[in-house]
């Protein structure tokens, strides 16, 4: 056996203030459950970083109350009581192995998982938002709607319903299928719930296709 082994990988000693035996705990992105109380002198506590424990969890996510189902991802949120919930703004802790009714707090089995948590194919709901992006990559606008308009009515102007569009949005459009009348795109304007496209000539054959994107200022 190697003489430089410190301990079994899942049993570690961390410096974490004011924790009691059985408390869930994090150290940066690492997660664990305290196997004793924090030592008042050294500030250290022994934790288990892998296993299934009975822990207090609240059925809430970043958007509000949300029931917990068996298998849901559970996160550790500093400052919350209890610290475990479905709030993806926290540090991934593990998986619920029991269900909780919406908005309730209950002690349930939580399965700690070693490693960084869910991968790129498993991004939990609510974990991505403009507010969570780094300052250097925060966009000024986001694409709110996009689509295609197939011409109807044979005229030079066509209003298309885009439910949710606002007059304060910005629309960008282009001709995807050139009309037989060889008209060009004069304008594309957005008002509440409507995008109005105007061509330089009436498209009597109704064969023009206009593609559009609607941008909205990032919140």
Side-chain-facing half-sphere of 51: CA atoms under 13 Å:
15
Average pLDDT over residues 38-53: 91
In a domain, residue 29? The reply is yes
**pLDDT at residue 93, rounded to an integer:** 92
Q: Do 102 and 161 reside in the same domain of the chain?
A: no
Average pLDDT over residues 173-201: 92
Closest CA to 127 of 117, 141, 112: 117
Cα dihedral 37, 31, 66, 166 in deg (nearest 10): 130
Q: Do 145 and 114 reside in the same domain of the chain?
A: no
Residue at which a domain ends, from 118, 152, 182: 118
Average pLDDT over residues 162-171: 96
**pLDDT at residue 115, rounded to an integer:** 52
Q: Do residues 126 and 73 touch, judged by C-beta distance below 8 A?
A: no
Q: Do 88 and 154 reside in the same domain of the chain?
A: no
Q: Do 148 and 110 reside in the same domain of the chain?
A: no
Q: Do 114 and 170 reside in the same domain of the chain?
A: no
In a domain, residue 150? The reply is yes
**pLDDT at residue 181, rounded to an integer:** 87
Confidence of residue 134 (pLDDT cuts 50, 70, 90): confident
Q: Do 146 and 110 reside in the same domain of the chain?
A: no
Q: Do 98 and 150 reside in the same domain of the chain?
A: no
Residue at which a domain ends, from 51, 85, 118: 118
In a domain, residue 170? The reply is yes
Q: In this model, does residue 117 exceed pLDDT 60? A: no
* Tens digit of each residue's pLDDT (9 = 90 or more) over 66-90: 999 999 999 999 999 999 999 988 8
Confidence of residue 55 (pLDDT cuts 50, 70, 90): very high
Domain count, the chain: 2
Q: Do 68 and 21 reside in the same domain of the chain?
A: yes
Q: Do 156 and 74 reside in the same domain of the chain?
A: no
**pLDDT at residue 121, rounded to an integer:** 47
Q: Do residues 67 and 99 touch, judged by C-beta distance below 8 A?
A: yes
**pLDDT at residue 2, rounded to an integer:** 66
Reduce the DSSP state of residue 175 to 3 states and report it. strand
**pLDDT at residue 22, rounded to an integer:** 92
Q: Do 54 and 100 reside in the same domain of the chain?
A: yes
In a domain, residue 181? The reply is yes
**pLDDT at residue 29, rounded to an integer:** 84
Contacts of 123 (CB under 8 A, 6+ apart): none
Confidence of residue 120 (pLDDT cuts 50, 70, 90): very low
pTM higher than 0.75: no
Range of the domain at 168: 141-217
**pLDDT at residue 6, rounded to an integer:** 66
Confidence of residue 7 (pLDDT cuts 50, 70, 90): low
Q: Do 112 and 21 reside in the same domain of the chain?
A: yes
Give the count of beta carbons closer than 10 Å to the beta carbon of residue 99. 15
Average pLDDT over residues 10-29: 89
């Amino acid at each position: 056996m190697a003489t430089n082994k410190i301990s079994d990988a899942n049993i570690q000693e961390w410096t974490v203030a004011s924790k009691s035996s059985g408390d869930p705990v994090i150290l940066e992105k690492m997660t664990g459950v305290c196997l004793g109380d924090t030592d008042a002198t050294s500030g250290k506590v022994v934790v288990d970083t892998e296993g299934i424990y009975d822990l207090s969890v609240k059925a809430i996510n970043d958007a509000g109350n949300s029931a917990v189902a068996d298998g849901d991802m559970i996160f550790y949120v500093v400052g919350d009581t209890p610290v475990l919930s479905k709030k993806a703004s926290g540090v991934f802790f593990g998986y619920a192995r029991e269900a909780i009714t919406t908005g309730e707090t209950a002690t349930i089995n939580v399965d700690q998982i070693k490693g960084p948590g869910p991968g790129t194919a498993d991004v939990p709901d609510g974990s991505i938002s403009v507010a969570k992006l780094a300052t250097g990559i925060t966009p000024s606008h986001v694409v709110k709607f996009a689509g295609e308009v197939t011409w109807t009515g044979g005229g030079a102007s066509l209003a298309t319903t885009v439910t949710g569009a606002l007059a304060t949005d910005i629309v960008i459009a282009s001709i995807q299928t050139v009309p037989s009348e060889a008209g060009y795109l004069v304008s594309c304007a957005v008002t509440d719930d409507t995008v109005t496209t105007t061509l330089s000539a009436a498209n009597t054959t109704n064969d023009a296709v206009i593609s559009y994107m609607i941008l909205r200022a990032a919140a």
